[in-house]
Each structure stands twice: as structure tokens, then as C-alpha cells.
Structure 1
Amino acid sequence: MELLTEDVVPERARDVKQEAREFAAEHIEPVAADYYESGEYPWEVLEAGMDAGLVAQDIGEEYGGRGLDLEEILAMAEEFYRADAGIALTLQLASFGAEMLEEYGADWQKEEYLRPVAENEQLTGLAVSEPETGSDLAGMETTAEKDGDEWVINGEKYWIGNGVEADWVTLYARTDDDENDRYGNFSLFIVPTDTDGYDAEHIPEKMGFRASKQAHIHLNDVRIPEDHVIGTEGTGFYMLADFFNHGRVVVGGHGLGLAAAAIEEAYDFTHGRQAFGRDVSEFQKVQHILADMRTEFEAARSLNWRAAEKVANNDNSGFWAAQAKVKSTETATMCAERGMQLHGGRSVLTENRISRVYRDVRIPVIYEGANEIQRNLIYGQW
């Protein structure tokens, strides 16, 4: 069964899609169950991805990357997430947030911080969410205050990919408190993780995405030079909002890969299994469930790829990105739930791939802006 067909994928993105598929088959699928059970960081797979030129390659050629565009990254995401969501997220978080440094940063910042990531010598991460605040970008409480020629950062960040492993993070902090300009109070900073006062620890025992590590970061009088601000002070919210439009299209790809995995498992399990003297696939109810799963998957994929084109062309990006994330991640949830039902009692065995998919699908509906927030964006930008 071939679900992630290339017919909806732009021709220029098909080569990297094939690279990702072959890599997933060789390096992700064989070890996915083991990493899910252990919850360890998949360093070996990450290093193999670097060697294959599939990690941090959204960074431009000028700084050592391949300059892969949004649709190429989406094509990779589908293939990686079909194989395993946790490992896939690790691969795609290696440069998460670095696009903003490439677009808005100073030349010296790009040479010192961006190039090592593109050349796979360093890892980075994006520190936005906080223990009490997730989707409300204008409600973050971590502060950065000017003290002479330095910024002093205090606060906490939560759910931060590579917060422990990264060499530096792009950090979002409050730099003003103007009640009349709620969205102009925030800035983005380059924060090396070896800076005094930066302390990170892994968040333990997630129910899904176990091969991807997120961190709880404590920032206690972290001092960085004043030139470590990215772009212009007070524009962090707007830079981040634009970045997440691209990110949400890719998160839609996370959902598509997971949905494809759920459909594959359900189809294979119901064909060849006997019940009441018949092949399970012969029951009309089973056929209808599979038909619904496939129909919703195809609808989600068509929308997601249309959204990718719209966002790439900056055509009402927020509207299309939000739709893609909602439809694709919720389709993945539906497919996993129905796949579990078709598996019957065997669905709850952790050795079965469907049980891993079922737990993983609960996470993309939340990250990069919970789907309830996405519905606000869809209506507000209609």
C-alpha cells in the first residue's frame, strides 16, 4: 500500500522525499520500537541523518546547508513521521528556530551560530513555552532586562526540544511592559547553553514521542551581550508568528505521517485475520471504517499540500497554516483511534506499532499552538 504518493508533491521536492524514505527504512524503522521503550535520545540515528544530509538542511547554502524549502521539509516530515514520531522530531529539532536567525540576524551572528548548525557541528533549539503558558505568545513572563552592555535574563522555559543537548537556543523573552502594545513587548535572543545561570533538565517519561527529549530550563541572571538580540528589539512576537506559519504546515506533515502509519497497520491487521469464520476485512463495518480513514487522510493531505504552497507564497499564511495543522493532526488522531479499535485487544500491547502511534498522535494536536487556538486563527483570518 502506498499512501504517501508523490503526485501531490512538487517535482523539486521529490528527490529529497525519496532520500527521506530510504533513510527512514534503513535507520528509523528498525530501531523505532527499541527507542520508544528506552526513551533514550537517538544520537546514532541523528548522526546518521547528518551524514545523509537530512538534518538542519533548511539553512541556506551560503551558511553550509542545502537551502531546502518549506515543501521539501514537509516531504521529509511525512516520511520520517510515518516511520517513528519521536525519532523524527529529534531529526527536525536540530535546527528548530534557526530560520529566524538566518532571516533576521546579523552577518556575524549567522557565521558564529548558524553555520555550525548547518554543518552539523552544533545543535540548537527554540525556547518559547513556559510552565504556565504555552499557546499565548503575548503572555510569556520570562524577562530580559538591559544592564549596561548586557541583557540579564530571568525566568523558566518548558517543553524545550534540545534544551539540554543544544549548544545554543533562540530564546523568547519579555523586554518591555507596554499595556498599549501587547505584541511589541518581546524580543528574541541567542543564548549559549553554557552561559552561567542557564540550567536545563529533561522532562521525564512522556507518554509519546519518547525518543525526543524536551527540557525544563531555569534562567537565573543569565547574562548575554547586548548584540545577541536577533533582529530588532520588540519584534520577537511578529518574527515568531511568521515562523510558526511555516512550522504549522510541517506539523501537518507530522500528522500525515502518523495517519499513514495508522492506516497501514489497520489495513494489514484486518486482511488475513479470521473471525467468525471469515476474513475480518470482509465485514462491511470494517470496510467502512477503513474507507473513512482513507478518505479523511486524502482530504487532509490535499489541504496540507495546498497550504504549503499558500504559505510558501505568503498568501494569507496564518489562515492556511492553521487549517493544515488542525485537519492533519486531527485526522491522525481519528485514524489511530479507529486503528486501535480494529486491532481489538491486541491494540493495547506496547509491542504493537499501533499502540505507539495512538499515543504519539495526542501530541501534535497540542504543540506549535493547540488546535483550539488554531481555530481562533482560522476564523479570525477568514
Structure 2
Amino acid sequence: MSFKLTKEQRDIKKAARKFAEGEFPDRALEFDRQETFDLDLWRKACEFGFVGVFIDEEYGGAGMGFFEHSLITEEFWAADPGIGQAIMSASFGAELLLLFGSEEQKQAILPDLVEGKAMIGTAITEPNAGSDPASATTKAVRDGDSWVINGNKMFITNGSTAKNLVVFCQTDPENSSRHKQHSFILVPTEAPGLEADKIHGKMGIRASDTSEISLSNVRVPLENLVGKEGKGFSQLMEFFNRTRPHVCAQGVGLAQAALEESIRHVKERYQFGKPLASFQSIQFKIAEMATLVRAARNLYYEAAWTVDKGKPDHALIAMAKWYAGEIAVRCADEAVQMHGGYGFIDETKVNRLYRAAKVLEIYEGTKEMEKTIISRSLLQS
């Protein structure tokens, strides 16, 4: 197996870093403190072709893979997690349409996403249904030629900014199998009865829109069903196989940034008449961080590779997702420690990295759920 990126992949990674380092730093603190984001920055990223690279060319995308999507994500998160999330999560849900959507749904939504005209989102989590999505109770009931949807969704990325949400709904609550009760339905956010309330006070990634969604008698056409009725849970698992390597890349990008910020700081900061970099305890921290980052990167490279080869390895993806989150938290913690009091102030980048890291062990599958997936694959084989 070759671990060397192709020239095209190296060029993509280099271009993503150049764009992010040129555009993000001047506004990162502003967006973090004000919990806001300038959509013109997302549109500019779309113009450069960074959004939706995994979308087929016939829908305006670059026709690349989730690996290339992850490479861009890594560089964007290394520059700033909040802005990186705000831009790269704009396509969160496009994976479902590519996998299971009708041709009409793809043509109606994907080109606008790639061109920077409209974001998409996916509404899965509920106030009482997080790690157990099969317990989701948002209901969609047939009424003539429409679905009528009622329920609440929590922690929804792009909930207040997306033009459309792919909503995980219970369409067959009486089915004896709890894994066959749900379906995905495409819901325009402008539909009467849908309300989005932006969540404030997040620990990190504050530039990214996270909202609570309320659906009260929201009516959409029957043809807004994404894929087959009753297949929502299995579709969700396939969806996560595509999106979790993306989360791994977030963790690796954050950890890489923590490492680079730490190296810069310990070379410049003097104590006892010597640079911090001259102390063995600091050298060991740097060595450990670099090793953790390399290991996590190799894991997510392989995980994303299996996805693009059409053979997603569920256990491997879970390993990569769990480990990337863990090393992000650890590296961010060490970075703050090496920065001392400066790391405790929100003006420093490592402070934002530290606050953003924890979410990587929570969303799109907690670290406990990822370990459960790994252990089951080993013990049931």
C-alpha cells in the first residue's frame, strides 16, 4: 500500500491550506466571540471549488472522493475549527442524496450547493434520541399526496442557514423492528410550521450554526421521501460511513494545528534563560504529539480509502473516528499547557482549539459508541 498522495491530492491539500491561512485568521476571533459567520466566506470557498468535491460532475461537483473532501477539511480545521466547520458542513446531507436521492432531488439541490447558492443540512438527533437514533420519535404521516411531519430535532448543523434539511422521521411506528420504522424526508426550511432556533453558548466551533428545529404539521410532497420508506436506519449507517472519515480529518487538522502552534511557541518563549524547546519535558511532549497526529492521519487515510473504493470498513471507520477525537483532545490540552497563561486567553488560537476539540468525541457517534462498534465487529466475527 502506498501512503503517498497523488500530485492532484497534494495540490488540493496545498490549495486548501493556502486559502484557509489567507482567509481565516483575521476573522476567527470575531466569529468565535460573536457566534456568527460571514456567508460570503463560504461562497468564496465554493468559487474556489472546495465545497462538495465528492459530488458528481453532472451535478456541478468535482467528481472526486471523500478522501479529497477529508484532505480539504483537515486543512480548514487546522486554520480554524469554527470556520472550517461552517464551510465544510454546508454539504452535510449531500451524501444522503447522492446515495439514495432521486434524480429530481439531486438536480434540484446539489448544483446550488456547489455554486454557493444554498446549504443543506441533516436533522437526526432529538432531545431524547442521540446515540440511539432508532428511538427518534419525530413522525411523518401520509395525508393524501403529502407527508405531515411533527417533532423536534436538536443540535442540528446548518439548522438556521440551510435551505433544505434531510429529516430522519418515524414513518412506520408499528413495525416490529425498530430499525425499520424510519425514513429520510427532504424538508425545505421555509416550509410553514418549521422553526429553527440557533443555539448559543457552545464551548467551541461557534462560527458554525447549530440549531434546535421544531416541526409542527409541516407538509411536504410524498416524492420528498429520500430513498425507500422504512430504510432510514440502514441509510443512516451508510451515511455515517461517508461522514465519519470527514470528522476524523477534523480531529487530525485540529491536532496538527496544536502541534504547529506549540512548536512555534516553545521556540520563541524563554524561561530560565533558555527557550522552552530546550527542555526535555517539552521535547517529549512535541514528539508524542507528532506521533499521535501521524497515527491518526494514517487511520483516517485508510478509512476514507475504503469508502472511495466502495467497500467501507465500518470497524476501521469507527477506530479512526474515536482515535482522531481522542488525539485532538490530548494534543489541544498539551498545547494549552505549553502556552501556560497565554493558552487560557481566548485571543490565542490554542484556546479555540482546546474548546473545539471535545465535540469530536461527541458528535456523529460518541467515543463510547465507536468502541462498541469496534468490539462488536471483533467479538462477533
Q: CA deviation at 1:57?
A: 3.2
Give the TM-score of the pair, scaled to structure 2: 0.95
C-alpha spacing 1:312/1:58, structure 2 compared with 1 (3 Å) = closer
Question: Does residue 280 in structure 1 map to residue 276 in structure 2?
Answer: yes
Q: CA deviation at 1:133?
A: 1.6
Question: Does residue 142 in structure 1 map to residue 128 in structure 2?
Answer: no
**Structure 2 gap ranges (5+):** none
Cα deviation, 1:232-252, whole Å, max 9, x if unaligned, reads 101111111111111111100
Counterpart of 2:91 in structure 1 is 95
Q: Retained in 2: the 8 A contact 1:9–1:305?
A: no
Counterpart of 2:221 in structure 1 is 225
Aligned equivalent of 2:148, options 146, 149, 152: 152
Q: Retained in 2: the 8 A contact 1:42–1:87?
A: no
Q: Retained in 1: the 8 A contact 2:241–2:312?
A: no
Quote the Cα distance in structure 2 between the aligned partners of 1:215 and 1:314.
Answer: 33
Quote the Cα distance in structure 2 between the aligned partners of 1:178 and 1:313.
Answer: 37
Aligned equivalent of 1:325, options 321, 326, 329: 321
Quote the Cα distance in structure 2 between the aligned partners of 1:263 and 1:312.
Answer: 29
Q: CA deviation at 1:319?
A: 0.7
Cα deviation, 1:168-193, whole Å, max 9, x if unaligned, reads 11111111124631111110011011
Which one is further off, 348-357 or 308-317? 308-317
Counterpart of 2:104 in structure 1 is 108
Q: Give SS of 1:159's match.
A: strand
Aligned equivalent of 1:363, options 347, 352, 359: 359
Counterpart of 2:205 in structure 1 is 209
Quote the Cα distance in structure 2 between the aligned partners of 1:178 and 1:194.
Answer: 30
Q: CA deviation at 1:119?
A: 2.9
Task: Report the AA paired with residue 129 of structure 1.
Answer: T
Quote the Cα distance in structure 1 between the aligned partners of 2:52 and 2:294.
Answer: 29
Q: Give SS of 2:268's match.
A: coil
Counterpart of 1:353 in structure 2 is 349
Q: Retained in 1: the 8 A contact 2:263–2:286?
A: yes
C-alpha spacing 1:44/1:170, structure 2 compared with 1 (3 Å) = same
Q: Give SS of 1:209's match.
A: coil
Aligned equivalent of 2:191, options 189, 195, 217: 195
Quote the Cα distance in structure 2 between the aligned partners of 1:195 and 1:224.
Answer: 8
Quote the Cα distance in structure 2 between the aligned partners of 1:315 and 1:375.
Answer: 20
Q: CA deviation at 1:261?
A: 0.8
Cα deviation, 1:51-108, whole Å, max 9, x if unaligned, reads 2121233221111221231110011011000001111111112121112112222222
Which one is further off, 29-38 or 6-15? 6-15
Q: CA deviation at 1:276?
A: 1.9
Q: Retained in 2: the 8 A contact 1:42–1:90?
A: no
Q: CA deviation at 1:316?
A: 5.2
Q: Which structure 2 residues correspond to residues 295-334 of structure 1 after superposition, within 5 A?
A: 295-315=291-311, 317-334=313-330
Task: Report the AA paired with residue 206 of structure 1.
Answer: K
Which one is further off, 215-224 or 32-41? 32-41
C-alpha spacing 1:315/1:111, structure 2 compared with 1 (3 Å) = closer
Q: CA deviation at 1:315?
A: 3.7
Aligned equivalent of 1:127, options 102, 116, 123: 123
Task: Report the AA paired with residue 377 of structure 1.
Answer: I
Quote the Cα distance in structure 1 between the aligned partners of 2:99 and 2:302.
Answer: 24
Counterpart of 1:250 in structure 2 is 246
Task: Report the AA paired with residue 236 of structure 2.
Answer: L
Task: Report the AA paired with residue 338 of structure 2.
Answer: L
Task: Report the AA paired with residue 152 of structure 1.
Answer: V
Q: Give SS of 1:363's match.
A: helix
Aligned equivalent of 2:235, options 236, 239, 242: 239
Counterpart of 2:38 in structure 1 is 42
RMSD of aligned residue pairs (Cα, Å): 1.6
Give the TM-score of the pair, scaled to structure 1: 0.95
Task: Report the AA paired with residue 309 of structure 1.
Answer: W
Q: CA deviation at 1:8?
A: 4.1
Quote the Cα distance in structure 2 between the aligned partners of 1:193 and 1:110.
Answer: 17
Number of residue-to-residue matches in the alignment: 377
Task: Report the AA paired with residue 118 of structure 1.
Answer: V
Q: CA deviation at 1:254?
A: 0.1
Q: Give SS of 1:94's match.
A: helix
Quote the Cα distance in structure 1 between the aligned partners of 2:111 and 2:270.
Answer: 56
Q: Which structure 2 residues correspond to residues 175-194 of structure 1 after superposition, within 5 A?
A: 175-178=171-174, 180-194=176-190
Q: Retained in 1: the 8 A contact 2:255–2:328?
A: yes
Quote the Cα distance in structure 2 between the aligned partners of 1:380 and 1:34.
Answer: 44
Task: Report the AA paired with residue 121 of structure 1.
Answer: K
Task: Report the AA paired with residue 261 of structure 1.
Answer: A
Aligned equivalent of 1:173, options 156, 166, 169: 169
